[in-house]
Amino acid sequence: MNVCSVVGARPQFVKAAVVSRELREVGEEVLVHTGQHYDEELSDVFFDELEIPEPEYNLGVESDTHGRQTAAMIAELEPILEETQPDVLLLYGDTNSTLAGAVIGSKRDVAVAHVEAGLRSYNREMPEEINRILTDHASDVCFAPSKAAVENLADEGITDGVYWTGDVMYDMILEARTRAHDRSGILDDLDLTPGEFVLATVHRASNTDDRSNLESILKGLASSPLPVVFPAHPRTIARLEEYELWNRATDELELVEPQGYLDFVRLLDAAERVATDSGGVQKEAFFLETPCVTLRKETEWTETVECGWNELVGPDEGQIREALDRERGTHSTPQPYGDGVASLRIVGLLQQAFDDDSSPDVEPLPNNLTD
């Protein structure tokens, strides 16, 4: 089996790390980095810490408008597919790198497989929602992290090639939690005591590219009874400067660089709670049992809200203040995102579908809900 995997942004490095490791045990992988994220702390640090193999291709596309960025990736991916002739193109999540892969894979008649398929926020103003919908509809195989994701796909008529595999970020966090605890010195470096700080991240277009939303989030975070550690995405830093909110942010919050994965997981594990608009961080908070305040009005990870670990507040100063002030209650801990072996299952299913001798080394645990 010859798999071409496409990654480009921070959360995709985390997701691909576990799958790539399993994949290379049983087949061949050509790893393509689109270059969507290129800063050392958004890219290289993940390859080093998570021991992701050096990409065979780096397209070096970097930042641009959605159209130009996605088009450049498509143009660069096409000759790689011609050259490498993969059995399957493996895509992750919902970024422009994902969409570019879906477009060119389906146009070039390469089988497309999508990890983290079926998620929906039902907010089409999010660029990620458009990327998810288009990618799922262009995919031959959809690996869904939750039952709800399988149902979302079925609602859109996508039932063939859909598998409930569990979530690959859960696989990763299970091993990262202990490694982070043993190896990370971030709490000492930032002089933090477990349970006595709030962690915050903000990078969504709707929050960063709208001055009043960003200001409202800053005010809400600043009202926290505990100190707030804020590893800021470069996009957010650029907007804080542009909107002249930089001084307020640095006066009232502990603004730090984007963190490497292990330091970030350590912070998330030790935080009293987290305030974020990230998809991955909402989920990781749930896995680590850190209560989450989500700075959005809707989420794809609905199970985290239903079981009480996550609260949706949007970019609303008052609601953020109230949510950060509230006592943390006791919550149930169901496991809607599988059993920590999603990556094994995904690779087993790929083997079944694309290996000629079709004798997977790992048990595929078929759980296609639509069978």
Active-site residues: which are they?
Answer: 203
Sign, CA dihedral 178-329-327-206, equals positive
Q: What is the DSSP string of 143-184?
A: EESSHHHHHHHHHTT--TTEEE---HHHHHHHHHHHHHHHH-
Judged by CB, which is closer to ligand UDP: 57, or 264? 264
Residue type, 290: T
CA-closest candidate to residue 163, choices 114, 122, 130, 203: 114
What six digits make up the tokens of 238?
Answer: 């650029």
- In which order are the strands placed within the sheet that holds 111-115? 57-58, 28-33, 2-7, 88-92, 111-115, 141-144, 162-164
User: Per CB under 6 A, which of residues 158..217 are in contact with ligand UD1?
Assistant: 203
Q: Indicate which of ligand UD1, ligand UDP, none lies near residue 284 (CB less than 5 to 8 Å, by partner kind).
A: ligand UDP
Neighbours of 231 (CB within 10 A): 21
Q: Indicate which of ligand UDP, ligand UD1, none lies near residue 281 (CB less than 5 to 8 Å, by partner kind).
A: ligand UDP
CB of 67 vs ligand UD1, minimal distance in Å: 11
Instruction: Give the chain's radius of gyration (CA, Å).
Output: 20
Judged by CB, which is closer to ligand UDP: 87, or 303? 303
Judged by CB, which is closer to ligand UDP: 87, or 272? 272
Q: Which residues bind ligand UDP (CB under 6 A)?
A: 10-11, 14, 201, 203, 231, 258-259, 261, 264-265, 278-281, 284
Query: Any residues with CB less than 8 A from the CB of 3 and at least 6 apart, and which?
Result: 23, 27, 28, 29, 30, 86, 87, 88, 89, 90, 350, 354
Q: How far apart are CA 49 and CA 51, in angstroms?
A: 6
CB of 11 vs ligand UD1, minimal distance in Å: 5
Q: Indicate which of ligand UD1, ligand UDP, none lies near residue 231 (CB less than 5 to 8 Å, by partner kind).
A: ligand UDP
Q: Which of 5, 20, 34, 36 binds ligand UD1 (CB under 6 A)?
A: 36
CB of 258 vs ligand UD1, minimal distance in Å: 9
Q: Indicate which of ligand UDP, ligand UD1, none lies near residue 364 (CB less than 5 to 8 Å, by partner kind).
A: none
* Pairing state between β 292-294 and 273-276: parallel
User: Per CB under 6 A, which of residues 218..237 are in contact with ligand UD1?
Assistant: 234-235
Q: Indicate which of ligand UDP, ligand UD1, none lies near residue 291 (CB less than 5 to 8 Å, by partner kind).
A: none
Q: How far apart are CA 125 and CA 157, in angstroms?
A: 22
Q: Which of 1, 3, 4, 9 binds ligand UD1 (CB under 6 A)?
A: 9
DSSP 8-state secondary structure symbol assigned to residue 306: H
Judged by CB, which is closer to ligand UD1: 11, or 166? 11
Say how many residues touch ligand UD1, by CB under 6 A. 18
Binding site residues, ligand UD1, CB under 6 A: 9-11, 36-39, 42, 63, 94-96, 127-128, 203, 234-235, 238
